[in-house]
């Protein structure tokens, strides 16, 4: 499996709550409806939270605060599957998702990277 990780920054006119609500309630169903045609095996939204009790953990590491409003994780069977030329239906689905992303994501400031997991601690 390969994972596409998308570090998301919201558009400046949206609050974090508005951004996360749109992402969860509007965009997520669009991804779910197109997952099969795009070869998405798993889709996870990681929403940032503001919790004063946790602020010290980041500060100890020198973090200046939250740069992103969330991380989208999209899982695919392989790099080959992800890099394959999409079908016409897949191309249409991808463009539809990109069009919707422009409604809430600051795309130029939201980097994407590709990764493979190396599980170290797992549930029993």
* Helical segments of 84-120, H only: 88-101
Q: Is residue 120 part of a domain?
A: no
16-32 pLDDT tens trace: 999 999 999 999 999 99
Q: Is residue 28 part of a domain?
A: yes
What CATH number does the domain containing 108 carry? Answer: 3.30.70.100
- Domain with 42, as residue range(s), is 2-50+63-115
Q: Is residue 73 part of a domain?
A: yes
96: left (phi over 0), alpha (psi -120 to 50) or beta: alpha
104 is written with which tokens?
């809430």
111-120 pLDDT tens trace: 999 999 888 9
In this prediction the pTM is 0.88
Q: Is residue 33 part of a domain?
A: yes
Q: Is residue 123 part of a domain?
A: no
- The three-state DSSP-derived secondary structure of 50-71 is CCHHHHHHHHHCCCCCCCCCEE
Q: Is residue 34 part of a domain?
A: yes
Q: How many domains does the chain have?
A: 1
Q: Is residue 77 part of a domain?
A: yes
Q: Is residue 27 part of a domain?
A: yes
36-67 pLDDT tens trace: 999 999 999 999 988 777 777 767 776 666 68
């Amino acid at each position: 499996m390969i994972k596409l990780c998308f570090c998301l920054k919201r558009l400046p006119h949206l609050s974090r709550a508005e951004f996360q609500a749109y992402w969860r309630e509007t965009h997520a169903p669009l991804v779910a409806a197109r997952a099969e045609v795009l070869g998405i095996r798993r889709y996870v939204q990681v929403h940032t939270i503001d919790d004063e009790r946790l602020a010290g953990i980041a500060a100890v590491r020198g973090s200046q605060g939250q740069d992103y409003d969330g991380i989208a994780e999209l899982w695919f069977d392989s790099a080959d599957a992800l890099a394959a030329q999409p079908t016409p239906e897949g191309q249409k689905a991808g463009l539809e998702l990109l069009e919707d992303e422009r409604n809430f994501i600051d795309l130029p400031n939201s980097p994407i990277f590709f990764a493979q997991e190396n599980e170290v601690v797992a549930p029993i």
